[in-house]
Structure 1
Amino acid sequence: MERIVPNLTVPDLAAAVAEHTAVLGLRPVMDHRWIVTLADADGHQLSLMTTDATATVNPDVSIFLVSLAEVEAAHDAATAAGLAVVHPLSREEWGVTRFFYRDSAGRVVNVGTHT
């Protein structure tokens, strides 16, 4: 595993970024206009998002794996476990390959890697 990042869905992205940077001292390290990832100098991250660009649901957490092979294996494992894949294994235009599954508590988990 490379990193785990919580994703907060927010109605006003600019306001949320301003709040979290002011309170926590985080700074934007990625901004796609629908999702902004904030980080500190040690690499701790928090993502804020309005509506996912290609998925019908927003993930609650993103788990980034080291390789495409690991993402494909996780996809196979989620399917074998009978979990609902709520966003198919997809290569996104911003350089990430990912899929989402819904866990037994109803949380949506984004599993991906940079490709």
Structure 2
Amino acid sequence: MAVRRIKPNILSDDFEGSRRFYRDLIGLDGGDGLDWILFFRGDVREVGLSVTRLDVEAGVHADVSIEVDDLDDVFARCTAAGAEIVYPITDEPWGLRRFFVRDPNGAVINVTQHHE
């Protein structure tokens, strides 16, 4: 199992302000997305962040997204260890398979894998 990317998710209701800040002031590319999430990126895929409203499918904000190459393995290890699953494994219509798990500090982690 390998981690492919880690990306912070910033909760916001001010998408225009976020676009101005992250694109115009910080210098990231992007600022596009869906009606509830904006994606910003650097020159390489591994550098990026998301600005989100409350997650429309899960109904909870995920603090961090971690992309892995074997979601089932990570899910099995989390459940075997008794970690709190906040949102079950779901195949989302935008091409991600994911689940949310709470870390020991209370942060919600969005564990994702792209559909192959």
- TM-score, length-normalised on structure 2? 0.91
> Which range moves more in the overlay, 28-37 or 57-66?
28-37
Q: Distance in 2 between matches of 1:30 and 1:88?
A: 27
1:113 corresponds to which residue? Answer: 113
Q: Distance in 2 between matches of 1:114 and 1:86?
A: 20
Moved over 2 A (4+): none
Q: 1:42 deviation in Å?
A: 2.8
> Which range moves more in the overlay, 82-91 or 29-38?
29-38
2:55 corresponds to which residue? Answer: 52
- TM-score, length-normalised on structure 1? 0.91
CA contact (8 A) 1:99 1:110 kept: yes
Question: What's the secondary structure of 1:2's corresponding residue?
Answer: strand
CA contact (8 A) 1:83 1:103 kept: yes
- Aligned partner (choices 22, 39, 55) of residue 20 of structure 1: 22
Distance 1:40 1:30, change over 3 A: same
CA contact (8 A) 2:23 2:31 kept: no
Q: What is the aligned-residue identity percentage?
A: 33
Question: What's the secondary structure of 2:104's corresponding residue?
Answer: coil
The alignment of Structure 1 onto Structure 2 pairs a total of residues equal to: 112
Q: Distance in 2 between matches of 1:35 and 1:76?
A: 28
What is the identity, as a one-letter code, of the residue corresponding to 2:109?
V
CA contact (8 A) 1:17 1:48 kept: no
